[in-house]
Chains A and B, each alone.
Chain A
Amino acid sequence: MNNRPIVITRSRVAQFGSIVGGAALLIGIIGFIWQGSLTSFVIVTLAVGVAGLGLWAVLNPQEFTGFITGRQVRYGTVTLFSTLLLIGIVALVYTQLQRSTVTLDMTQNQRFSLSTETLGVLRRVTRDIQITGFYTSRNLTTRELDDQFFRLYEDATDGRIRRVYIDPEENPAQASRFGVQQDAQVYISYLNTDGTEVDFNTLARVPRSGAQERDMTDAISRLLIAGTVKIYFEQSLGERDPLDTTSEGLSGIHNGVQESGLVTAALNLAGLAASGGDIPADAATVIFARPLRGLSEAEIGVIDRYLQRGGALLLMADVLYTDDAFLGESDLFNQYLWERYGIRALDAVVVDTASSGTTALDVVSAAVYTDNDIGARLAPDEGISTLFRVARAVDVNIDSAPPNIANGRVIMSSPLSFGETNLATLGATNQFTFDEGQDLPGPLTTVVWSFHQQTQAKIVLVGDSDFATNGLALSPQGNGILFTDSVAWLTNLSERIQFSPQAFSANLPLIFVSQQQLDLITFVTIILLPGATIVSGLAIWARRMRQ
């Protein structure tokens, strides 16, 4: 009688051990498969499981052996464990393949492969970059598709570029920090030096267009050059003000340059000339946005020394009705440019009698030369044209260019235009007529470029400055493109982000088919094929039924 309570306790403990042990073992195995490694949690649960079952075996050996030798249980357990083992193996293979990115891009336009250009850009990545994507769970498939693509960047840089996804609804604070406005927006930025936080100073939104790779690689390139390319705005010759926010100012393009990761600064050419100084060595490009006067010899000397070092100039020469105009026909600097670089400005206002603008003085680009990157994205036929309000004709000496010079046109006006040389009358009365022999016959050049093959000096000369102002920079579209692509060419940005256009043709094949062909296809696919299947099925069936 005394033993009885002890016996009950003993078997109860055994029962308890069996239940807890079995459950813990199961949880441990699931945990192991889930986490893929022997974490302390997994080890503890497995240990508890083994201990529980051990307790059962020791305290109630008969029940224990009866349990495990029962055929059904043995069979069931073997099935369970081997199934779990199989699932574990599958999961292991799966994660291994996932980690090692065993993929094959089978699309014609290599949508899931990085171009050599992109790989070139990625080789220069030395600091950790984070791609931050904001997707809600509703946009799961977009995110999966994008992730396939972003993963290529991560793999190509051995993880230097990493991907982070944030649900803007789960985490609105982060979303507002990044400035998320809609679903599926993607940002790119450097990480702070400790590698944990996003460096918000370098944050940029990655646009979403048809050319995913171009957008992303562009963004990375901009990040790479951030802070390394410095653009100087000349300010001592009465130029337009880069900080002026009125429609005559340049604040728009100035901000745009900064947003593209370029650094801007002001340059005082007059001061440098007076002190015998030099244009700073870090100047990737100097922009002359409509200087009001001609340059002195000393100032030309400063510029010459800069160009000899491989400098780059963006010259915007507007029509000025003054005697001492910048790049006037007898101006020293104009002569310098003509002799050394084969380009010059002409004292002629382009009058376009076929102009689609409000007056004949609104000069629209009619022909664009695409041999230089500056003109590559301008396409008047597709409505991407520039508009110059009172433009000055410029000239380029292609046939007998100075030694080591490569030069060319970018934009020309329409064949129906001419160059009015009588600036005085035009300035006073706003009248213009074509005077045979005196005025220049069209078409006329309005933008030219020149490149010194030895010094690598580059110059873009535009016979207008209005196109870059806040009033006109974004409309028409071509104006902004002309400015950014000029800067990109001058600073060699376009060489860093150079794409072969066909690599990004998102255009899927067009279909060439007549109605007749369509009808035939309809007949074959909807009537003939299914019909033939049914008939052959019935035939076989009928034949067999008779057997």
Chain B
Amino acid sequence: MIEVKGLTKRYGDRLAVDHLSFTAKPGEVLGLLGPNGAGKTTTMRMLTGYLPPTEGSASIAGYDILEDSMEARRRVGYLPERVPLYPDMTVRGYVTFWARLRGIRSPRKHVNAALERVHLMDRQNQLVRNLSKGLRQRLGLAQALVHNPAVIILDEPTIGIDPQQVIEVRESVRALGKEHTVLFSTHILSEAEHVCDRVLIINKGRVIAQGKPADLRRQMEPKTQLYVVVGGASGKAARQLLSAIPGVLAVERDGDGYSLTVEGDRDLRGEVSSHVMQAGYTLLEIRQATTSLEDIFLEIVGKSR
């Protein structure tokens, strides 16, 4: 559905998107994960035809975004990061307007379906300006799917809304993924994990990791962390002691104590405490920290930096 080959965007000397290539299959929710300024929005803007790529090509449902721009645009529903609204229109009028512009002659049915889908049917005659932020987000979603596009592109749709609504939006996106190809960007890893079938982690315009969220997690999981504060030992002695414990891969000074990287998913707390006791020191604190996807994400991004 979406095919991207070597897509590049250069602003002067700065590379915003650097030879990006990926594909998204029908019925897939593909997450674009990356920090701010990673090139997510630029990529999406190129795919929707708002910005021209400097190099490379992309196609949507088989239509090249440059050669067959109109056909490609016809098959895309797009929700930019800041929901674009006409405050003086009614909810229904707004969705109808976009339906018409996307070539639907008699939009009544489509509009009804879209409003049902985002649960805005009971507010169809309200003015857009009187909607809450979460409702506006849902309205934005309604306009993106009203023409039943093959591809739906959502740019950080959960930003700035309250947690309850975040969950609603995530659910809607997941539901959309059953019928459409959804390209979904976020900078929150857990969100990508919840919503996406597949995640591309991008930084500085490049893909630095990709795969199913679970796979990505597994890749990182071996590295369990243990935090230990030892009393009565000099820094050198403590370090020596800790690194001598079997199963400890690395010791790093972290504030008052030390961070230990532990092999596999073994729980070493018992062994660490007995070693410290045996050496005649006191164990002031010990705590196990399982890495979250956030940490993986930060680590990967940090590495690529």
Tell me if chains A and B make direct contact, with any CB pair below 8 A: yes
Which residues does A use to contact B, with CB under 8 Å?
Answer: 71, 544-545, 547
Closest to A541 in B: B88
Q: How far is the CA of A407 from the CA of B142 in the complex (A)?
A: 96
Interface string of B180-217 (1 = CB under 8 A from A): 00000000000000000000000000000000000000
Count class of interface residues, chain B: under 10
B125 contacts A547, C-beta separation under 8 Å: yes
A residues less than 8 Å from B130 (CB atoms): 547
**Which are the 4 A-B pairs with shortest beta-carbon distances?**
A547-B127, A547-B126, A547-B125, A544-B127
A residues less than 8 Å from B52 (CB atoms): 71
Q: Name B73-93 residues within 8 Å CB distance of A.
A: 88, 90
Task: Output the least CB separation between B4 and chain A (Å).
Answer: 19
B residues less than 8 Å from A544 (CB atoms): 88, 127
B residues less than 8 Å from A71 (CB atoms): 52
9 A-B Cβ contacts within 8 A? Answer: A71-B52, A544-B88, A544-B127, A545-B127, A547-B90, A547-B125, A547-B126, A547-B127, A547-B130
Closest to B127 in A: A547
Q: How far is the CA of A544 from the CA of B90 in the complex (A)?
A: 9
Task: Output the least CB separation between A72 and chain B (Å).
Answer: 10
Q: How far is the CA of A345 from the CA of B88 in the complex (A)?
A: 93
Closest to A544 in B: B127
Q: How far is the CA of A316 from the CA of B101 in the complex (A)?
A: 91
Q: How far is the CA of A547 from the CA of B123 in the complex (A)?
A: 9
Task: Output the least CB separation between B123 and chain A (Å).
Answer: 9
Closest to B128 in A: A547
Q: How far is the CA of A547 from the CA of B127 in the complex (A)?
A: 6
- Given A544-B88, A545-B127: 7 more A-B contacts, CB < 8 Å: A71-B52, A544-B127, A547-B90, A547-B125, A547-B126, A547-B127, A547-B130
Q: How far is the CA of A344 from the CA of B52 in the complex (A)?
A: 103
Most buried by B among A71, A545, A547: A547
Task: Output the least CB separation between A113 and chain B (Å).
Answer: 49
A residues less than 8 Å from B127 (CB atoms): 544-545, 547
Closest to B90 in A: A547
A residues less than 8 Å from B88 (CB atoms): 544
Closest to B130 in A: A547
Q: Name B116-130 residues within 8 Å CB distance of A.
A: 125-127, 130
B residues less than 8 Å from A547 (CB atoms): 90, 125-127, 130
Q: How far is the CA of A544 from the CA of B128 in the complex (A)?
A: 11
Task: Output the least CB separation between A78 and chain B (Å).
Answer: 14
Closest to B88 in A: A544
Q: How far is the CA of A71 from the CA of B55 in the complex (A)?
A: 11
Closest to B89 in A: A544
Closest to B126 in A: A547
Q: How far is the CA of A544 from the CA of B91 in the complex (A)?
A: 12
Closest to B54 in A: A71
Task: Output the least CB separation between A75 and chain B (Å).
Answer: 9
Interface string of B251-291 (1 = CB under 8 A from A): 00000000000000000000000000000000000000000
Task: Output the least CB separation between B295 and chain A (Å).
Answer: 42
Q: How far is the CA of A545 from the CA of B90 in the complex (A)?
A: 11
Task: Output the least CB separation between A545 and chain B (Å).
Answer: 7
Closest to B125 in A: A547
Task: Output the least CB separation between A73 and chain B (Å).
Answer: 14
Task: Output the least CB separation between B146 and chain A (Å).
Answer: 20
A residues less than 8 Å from B90 (CB atoms): 547
Task: Output the least CB separation between B186 and chain A (Å).
Answer: 31
Interface string of B136-148 (1 = CB under 8 A from A): 0000000000000
Q: How far is the CA of A544 from the CA of B127 in the complex (A)?
A: 7
Closest to A75 in B: B52
Q: How far is the CA of A545 from the CA of B127 in the complex (A)?
A: 7
Q: How far is the CA of A547 from the CA of B90 in the complex (A)?
A: 8
Q: How far is the CA of A71 from the CA of B10 in the complex (A)?
A: 13
Interface string of B98-134 (1 = CB under 8 A from A): 0000000000000000000000000001110010000
Q: How far is the CA of A544 from the CA of B89 in the complex (A)?
A: 9
Most buried by B among A71, A544, A545: A544
Closest to B123 in A: A547
Closest to A545 in B: B127
Task: Output the least CB separation between B20 and chain A (Å).
Answer: 19
A residues less than 8 Å from B126 (CB atoms): 547
Q: How far is the CA of A545 from the CA of B88 in the complex (A)?
A: 9
B residues less than 8 Å from A545 (CB atoms): 127
Task: Output the least CB separation between B131 and chain A (Å).
Answer: 11
Task: Output the least CB separation between B128 and chain A (Å).
Answer: 10
Q: How far is the CA of A71 from the CA of B9 in the complex (A)?
A: 13
Closest to A72 in B: B52
Q: How far is the CA of A545 from the CA of B128 in the complex (A)?
A: 10
Q: How far is the CA of A71 from the CA of B66 in the complex (A)?
A: 12
Interface string of B150-181 (1 = CB under 8 A from A): 00000000000000000000000000000000
Q: How far is the CA of A71 from the CA of B125 in the complex (A)?
A: 45
Task: Output the least CB separation between B17 and chain A (Å).
Answer: 16
Q: How far is the CA of A71 from the CA of B52 in the complex (A)?
A: 10
Task: Output the least CB separation between B21 and chain A (Å).
Answer: 22
Task: Output the least CB separation between B96 and chain A (Å).
Answer: 15
Q: How far is the CA of A219 from the CA of B130 in the complex (A)?
A: 75
Task: Output the least CB separation between A74 and chain B (Å).
Answer: 12
Q: How far is the CA of A545 from the CA of B130 in the complex (A)?
A: 8
Task: Output the least CB separation between B8 and chain A (Å).
Answer: 13
Task: Output the least CB separation between A100 and chain B (Å).
Answer: 42
Task: Output the least CB separation between B137 and chain A (Å).
Answer: 20
Task: Output the least CB separation between A541 and chain B (Å).
Answer: 10
Q: How far is the CA of A362 from the CA of B46 in the complex (A)?
A: 102
Q: How far is the CA of A125 from the CA of B117 in the complex (A)?
A: 84
Q: How far is the CA of A544 from the CA of B130 in the complex (A)?
A: 10
Q: How far is the CA of A465 from the CA of B64 in the complex (A)?
A: 102
Q: How far is the CA of A547 from the CA of B92 in the complex (A)?
A: 12
